[in-house]
Structure 1
Amino acid sequence: MFKFVWASVLKPADDGRLYQKMGLTLREVFAGGQFHFVGSARQTHDQPEGVVFHPIYSFSRRSLRRLLANVQFGWLLWRVRPDWIVVATVELLPAVVLYRCFSRCRVVYDVQENYALNVLHTSVYPRWMRRPLAWLLRLVEYAASFWLSGYILAERCYAHQLQKLIAQKPWVVVENTCLPCVPLPQHRLQPEGQSAAPIVCLLSGTLSPSYGTEQALLFFERLQASCPQVWLWVVGYCPEPSYRPRLKQRLAALPQTKWEGIDYFVPQARIQACYTQAHWAWLPYPVHGAFAERIPSKLFDCVAFQLPVLMAENEHWQAFLDSFPTKVGLCVPFAQADTFDYAEWVATWQQTAFFTNSFDPAPVLWSETAPRLVAFFQKLAAQGDTR
Structure 2
Amino acid sequence: MKKHKLVIGSILKPVDDTRMYEKFGLSLDQTTKYDINIIGFYSKKLPKESNIKFHPIFHFKRLHPSRLLAPSKFLKKLIELRPEIVIINSHELLLTTTLYKIFFGAKIIYDVRENYFRNLLFTPTFPLLLRPLLAGYVRAKEYLSTLFFDHYILAEKQYAEEFSFSKKKHTIIENKYLPQQHFKTPTKRPEKTLENSEKIRLIFSGTIAESTGVFEAISLAKNLHNLNPKIELKIVGFCSLPETLKRVKLELKNSPFITLIGGDQLVSHQTILSHIQEADFGIICYPKNRSTINSMPTKLYEYLGNQLPIILQNHERWEQLSQQYNAGIIINFREVNYHELISKMEQTENFYSTLPGEEILWYSEENKLTNLIEIESNNIL
TM-score (norm 2): 0.93
Q: Which aligned pairs between 1:251-290 and structure 2 lie closer than 5 A?
A: 251-290=252-291
Paired with 2:275 and 2:175, the residues of 1 have a C-alpha distance of 19
Taking the TM superposition and a 5 Å limit, the aligned residue runs for 1:107-126 are 107-126=108-127
1:231-242 maps to which residues of 2 (within 5 A)?
231-242=232-243
CA separation in 1, counterparts of 2:150 and 2:253?
Answer: 49
* Rounded Cα–Cα distance in structure 1 between residues aligned with 2:153 and 2:359: 19
The answer (yes or no) to whether the contact 1:14–1:43 under 8 Å persists in 2 is no
Cα drift, residue 182 of structure 1: 6.0
**Which of 354, 357, 360 is matched with 1:361 structurally?**
357
Q: 2: distance between equivalents of 1:360 and 1:315?
A: 19
Q: Cα deviation per residue 1:61-101 (whole Å; 9 max; x = unaligned)?
A: 32222211111111111111110100001011111111111
* Whole-angstrom distance in 2 between the partners of 1:174 and 1:11: 18
Give the superposition deviation at 1:321: 1.4
Q: Corresponding residue for 2:247?
A: 246
Q: 1:106 to 1:80 in 2, by over 3 A?
A: same
For 1:240 and 1:97, how far apart are their aligned partners in 2?
30
Retained in 2: the 8 A contact 1:90–1:137?
yes
Q: Look up the equivalent residue of 1:181 and give its one-letter code.
A: Q
Q: How many Å apart are 1:211 and its aligned residue? A: 1.7
- Quote the residue 2:173 is aligned against: 174
Residues 110 and 154 in structure 1, CA contact (< 8 A), matched pair in contact too:
yes
1:343 matched residue in structure 2: 339
1:47 positional shift: 3.2
CA distance in 2 between partners of 1:246 and 1:129 (Å): 23
Secondary structure of 2:217's counterpart equals helix
State the match for 2:327 in structure 1. Answer: 328
Decide whether the 8 Å contact of 1:211 with 1:285 is kept in 2: yes
Kindly state the Cα deviation for residue 181 of structure 1 after the two structures are TM-superposed.
2.5
Quick one: distance in 1 between partners of 2:350 and 2:236? 23
Matched residue type, 1:37: I
TM-score, scaled relative to structure 1: 0.91
Task: Determine the structure 2 residue equivalent to 1:62.
Answer: 63
Matched AA of 1:255: P
Matching residue's letter, 2:6: F
Q: 1:191 to 1:375 in 2, by over 3 A?
A: same
Matches within 5 A, 1:48-127: 48=49, 50-127=51-128
**CA distance 1:320–1:287, change in 2 (3 Å):** farther
Aligned to 1:13: 15
Residue 4 in 1 paired to residue 6 in 2?
A: yes
Change (3 A) 1:171 1:302: same
CA-to-aligned-CA distance 1:231-284 (integer Å, 9 cap, x gap): 101111111123333323432321312221112111111111112111001122
Q: Which residue of 2 aligns with 1:45?
A: 46
Counterpart code for 1:343: H
CA contact (8 A) 1:155 1:173 kept: yes
Q: Unaligned stretches of 5+ in structure 2?
A: none
Aligned-residue offset at 1:210: 2.3
Cα deviation, residue 118, structure 1: 1.1
Unaligned runs of 5+ in 1: none
Counterparts of 2:348 and 2:191, CA distance in 1: 12
Question: Mean Cα displacement is larger for which, 199-208 or 284-293?
Answer: 284-293
Describe the shift of the 1:286–1:81 C-alpha distance in structure 2 as closer, same or farther (beyond 3 A).
same
Letter in 2 for 1:347: S
In structure 2, what is the Cα distance between the partners aligned to 1:49 and 1:229? 42
Distance 1:300-1:243 versus aligned 2 partners, 3 A rule:
same
Q: How many pairs were matched up?
A: 377
State the alpha-carbon separation in 1 of the partners of residues 352 and 97 from structure 2.
49
- Equivalent position SS for 1:141: helix
Mark the CA change 1:186 to 1:43 in structure 2 (over 3 Å): closer, same or farther: farther
1: CA distance, partners of 2:288 / 2:190: 29
Query: In the alignment, residue 16 of structure 1 is paired with which amino acid?
Result: T
Q: 1:376 to 1:294 in 2, by over 3 A?
A: same
Q: Sort the Cα spacing of 1:171 and 1:145 in 2 relative to 1 into closer, same or farther, 3 A.
A: same
Q: 1:206–1:49: structure 2 CA closer, same or farther, 3 Å change rule?
A: closer
Give the distance between the partners of 2:13 and 2:237, measured in 1 at CA: 13
For the Cα contact (< 8 Å) 1:210–1:286, is it kept in 2? yes
Q: Is the 8 A contact 2:208 2:263 kept in 1?
A: yes
